[in-house]
Amino acid sequence: RVALTTRELMLGRTCFVVLAICAQSSLGFMNAPVATFRHCLRSASTSARRFPLPGRHRAASGANDFFMMAHRAKHVSVGIIGTGVVGGDLFKQLDSTKANLIKSNKLDVKIVALTFKRDGQSYMLLSKDGITLADYQAALKDKTKGEPSDLDKFSAFVKSASGNPVLFDCTASEPVSAKYETWLRSGLNVVTPNKKVGSGPLDRYKKTKKAAADAGTDWNYEATVGAGLPIINVLRNDLLDTGDKVRKIEGIFSGTLSYIFNTFKPGVPFSSVVADAKAKGFTEPDPRDDLSGTDVARKVVILARECGLDLELSQVPVDSLVPPALQSWKPAPGENVGDAFVEQMKVFDVEKAKLIQSALDNGEVLRYVGVVDVEKKEARVTLARYPKTHPFAGTQWADNICAMSTARYQPQPLVIQGPGAGAAVTAAGIYADFLRLARRF
């Protein structure tokens, strides 16, 4: 054996690669099949492994291997609309897992566009080289970075950055969701937790679905129901697409209301429970947005439409937890709406206390649920009582839970349960929904 120096080993590896390129050149670089060039590279790589590099030079070799993997990966250009609580967490998750996406999924994902708020105004960053977390954080402070948001320019930029463009809508905005049909028809894919189209006017919902089908694009909205829980995916792919017949779906679909009724006990005023939920960040600034049940109704409509029911949001009866006297109430000028509302709710604590006591006297619990009765072709949102042996009685903290009764899953339903609130969980659900799409590119 001949002892070779490190320098000679490195030169040897380089020569193998050069020889491969020369071989390709001699075959006609511009005209030879790509497979021929790949064969030469594989041969060079196999031969090069016979000369392993010691120590720190292995790191350089590993970096080169990573570069080659990135070169072979499918390129995906991503635009994130809305980098608030959920969108910001999604950005962090995507940014921190880039290397793993290349290694495990052969996906080279670049965040090429995002919108953000600075001084109350909406701006956007655009870069085909990719936007890092550091770039985003710098733009939040540096007023020279970014430009006023323009959704048409934004979407066109994302589409031009790769053959696999994806838009994340992490807002609850009606104007943004109104563009889904146009985006999908133009070749853009959309992943979102925004419920506006899924539960909005039926005609627009159907047009959006058709736009995706006609263009061969995807509109993924798993995170609209159950945050990070795979409810829609299981319903659509594991049940309906395999021929199962869904008879009924019922569930606790609000993390806020789940927490409230997991916490509400005799002796604890209902207004205090609402105040506690508000302090922990579960409620909207105006708790009526949660207590009205409208958000749960939207989720019920989305599930009903997945099951083939042509329901409008207005057709779903909702038992609001907001007393009629407070539904149109307004706080005094200067008052915090949340704090003022809790004060107003104290008048109704006795009424709510009777409800919880009556349920407990009968060995039951109170749960705020959404129901889709597929066989009766109807849906509703209501405060219901369940025996303590029922799966809904076992929820904790802010759990969401969904029970699907089907032709196969009976007499016991298929139950999906887990955290139903929180930025990290919701962002992870959006991320997983994106991966299901991206792996098909």
Q: Identify whether the C-beta of residue 181 lies closer than 8 Å to the C-beta of residue 142.
A: no
- Range list of β-strands (E), 207-346: 219-220, 246-252
Kindly give, in sequence order, each residue whose CB lies less than 8 Å from that of residue 372, ignoring residues fewer than 6 positions away. Answer: 248, 249, 250, 300, 303, 304, 307, 309, 379
207 among known catalytic residues:
no
Contacts 24+ apart (CB under 8 A), 66-70: 66/99, 66/102, 66/103, 69/102, 69/103, 69/106, 70/102, 70/108
- The owner of tokens 């149109």 is 328
Whole-angstrom Cα distance, residue 393 to residue 376? 26
Conformation bin of residue 308: beta by default, left when phi > 0, alpha when psi is -120 to 50: left
Q: Identify whether the C-beta of residue 380 lies closer than 8 Å to the C-beta of residue 360.
A: no
Q: Identify whether the C-beta of residue 312 lies closer than 8 Å to the C-beta of residue 297.
A: no
DSSP 98: H
- The owner of tokens 């948001």 is 149
First to last CA, the chain: 49
* Amino acid in position 182: T
Q: Determine which one of 299, 346, 352, 354 is catalytic.
A: 299
Q: Give the 3-state secondary structure of residue 221.
A: coil
Nearest in space to 183 (alpha carbons), one of 195, 199, 166, 170: 166
Q: Which two tokens stand for residue 393?
A: 């009685």
Angle between helices 98-105 and 85-96 (to 10 degrees): 60
Q: Give the 3-state secondary structure of residue 75.
A: strand
Whole-angstrom Cα distance, residue 227 to residue 219? 17
Q: Identify whether the C-beta of residue 263 lies closer than 8 Å to the C-beta of residue 276.
A: yes
Which residues are catalytically annotated?
Answer: 299
